[in-house]
């Protein structure tokens, strides 16, 4: 991830609408999971998800991130049980965690199979993997380049990767459904006009105003509520899957 972008991300993840909405969806997907089940947050960033999980009764949460500055940010905010580690080689014993959460991590990894095989290894039998990834290659922008993304995913690609690594896919849905039409249109215009220089993309995480940020977070919560009813969306800016260790 671009260093300036990463620093901005650590500062804004607590309140940015995208991050707030994603945490809300993860908590919904974990509904019914016992509080003492071990959870590994892969790519924990500044620890916002770990804090949310603990505040919602999950007492055994561990975080890893490949960026030492992310771990520093966690510790500066009082988030413990976090370590610098590679998603492909966590250094944890096998069958340690009941849940692995990887929020927008897999797209950063050169070999997705290495990461998925490692997450499978550290899960208990029947353990759950929750993974979020960016969707649709045609949505690629300089935002992806700054994030050091290697790919964006289709439903078929993600399901294939999970099944190839011995996961049983329980659910797959696109996410951020409401923002897909404007995002797709914006990407098309930007490409046509050769817009969106890197300097602009660096600050895409910053909302134009606090009121806009609240409104966007509210829209995502509505979408999350629909998803919680079991409805899966046919398209979106992101994609998530829930899979079980076979």
pLDDT higher than 50, residue 245? yes
Instruction: Judge whether 234 and 36 are in contact, CB under 8 Å.
Output: no
Q: Quick one: which of 21, 241, 237, 19 has its CA closest to 134?
A: 237
Instruction: At 94, list the tokens.
Output: 């096998």
Instruction: Judge whether 201 and 148 are in contact, CB under 8 Å.
Output: no
244/25 Cα distance (integer angstroms): 18
48/19 Cα distance (integer angstroms): 9
% helix / strand / coil in the chain, to the nearest 5? 45, 20, 35
pLDDT bracket for residue 238 (50, 70, 90): very high
155/177 Cα distance (integer angstroms): 14
Cβ density class 10-28: b for 16+ within 10 Å, e for less: bebbeebbbbbbbbbbbbe
pTM of the model: 0.91
- Check residue 200 and give its pLDDT: 47
pLDDT bracket for residue 186 (50, 70, 90): confident
- Check residue 52 and give its pLDDT: 98
231 vs 2, higher pLDDT: 231
**Host domain of residue 121:** 3-245
Q: Cβ neighbours of residue 122 under 8 Å, at least 6 residues apart?
A: 40, 90, 92, 93, 94, 95, 96, 97, 100
43-47, 187-191, 228-232: range with lowest mean pLDDT = 187-191
CATH number of the domain bearing residue 204 = 3.40.50.150
Total count of domains within the chain: 1
- Check residue 115 and give its pLDDT: 99
34/32 Cα distance (integer angstroms): 6
231/55 Cα distance (integer angstroms): 27
pLDDT digits (tens, 9 = 90+) for 44-83: 999 999 999 999 999 999 999 999 999 999 999 999 999 9
pLDDT higher than 60, residue 202? no
Average pLDDT of span 132-136: 97
Strands across the sheet with 39-42, in order? 82-84, 61-65, 39-42, 97-103, 123-134, 238-245, 167-175
Instruction: Judge whether 123 and 95 are in contact, CB under 8 Å.
Output: yes
Alpha-carbon distances, residue 228 vs 55, 83, 150, 171 (angstroms):
20, 32, 30, 12
């Amino acid at each position: 991830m671009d260093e300036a972008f990463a620093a901005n991300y650590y500062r804004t993840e607590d309140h940015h609408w995208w991050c707030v909405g994603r945490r809300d969806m993860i908590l919904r997907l974990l509904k019914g999971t016992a509080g003492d089940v071990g959870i590994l947050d892969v790519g924990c960033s500044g620890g916002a998800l770990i804090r949310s999980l603990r505040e919602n009764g999950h007492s055994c949460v561990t975080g890893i991130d490949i960026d030492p500055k992310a771990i520093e940010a966690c510790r500066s905010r009082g988030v413990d049980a976090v370590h610098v580690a590679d998603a492909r080689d966590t250094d944890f014993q096998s069958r340690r965690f009941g849940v692995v959460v990887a929020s927008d991590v897999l797209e950063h990894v050169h070999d997705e199979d290495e990461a998925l095989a490692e997450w499978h290894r550290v899960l208990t039998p029947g353990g759950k993997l929750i993974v979020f990834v960016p969707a649709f290659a045609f949505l690629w922008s300089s935002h992806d380049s700054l994030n050091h993304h290697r790919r964006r995913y289709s439903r078929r690609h993600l399901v294939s990767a999970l099944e190839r690594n011995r996961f049983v896919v329980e659910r797959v849905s696109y996410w951020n459904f409401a923002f897909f039409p404007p995002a797709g249109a914006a990407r098309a215009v930007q490409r046509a006009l050769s817009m969106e220089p890197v300097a602009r993309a660096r600050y895409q995480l910053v909302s134009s105003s606090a009121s806009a940020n609240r409104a966007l977070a509210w829209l995502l919560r509505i979408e999350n509520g629909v998803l919680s009813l079991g409805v899966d969306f046919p398209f979106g800016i992101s994609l998530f899957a829930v899979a079980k260790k076979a």
